[in-house]
Amino acid sequence: MKGFRIIGSFKDIRNEQKFSIEIAAEDADAAKETALSVLGSRHKLKRRDIKINEVNELKPDEITNLTVKHQVSA
């Protein structure tokens, strides 16, 4: 598995909310799908309301989320 940081924004009730989330996935497409799923579930959003601007692959020492770090190292 690899670590990815997804950066983007989504439409909130009042304005546009920016986000940055770290995900462990096999490739960039799987990371995008996971991010859409997680954000939709947490914030009750439709996929069309979420804009992904960047998907960056992270080196193991750049990962800050401990869960992702553990999944990448295993």
* The total number of structural domains that make up the chain: 1
Cβ-contact 10, 49 below 8 angstroms: yes
Domain containing residue 66: CATH number:
3.10.20.10
- In the prediction, which pLDDT does 34 show? 97
Structure tokens at 43: 């914030």
| Structural domain harbouring 30 | 2-73
Each residue's pLDDT tens digit, 4-51:
999 999 988 889 999 999 999 999 999 999 999 999 999 999 999 999
CA angle 36, 24, 11 (to 5 degrees): 25
49-58 pLDDT tens trace: 999 999 999 9
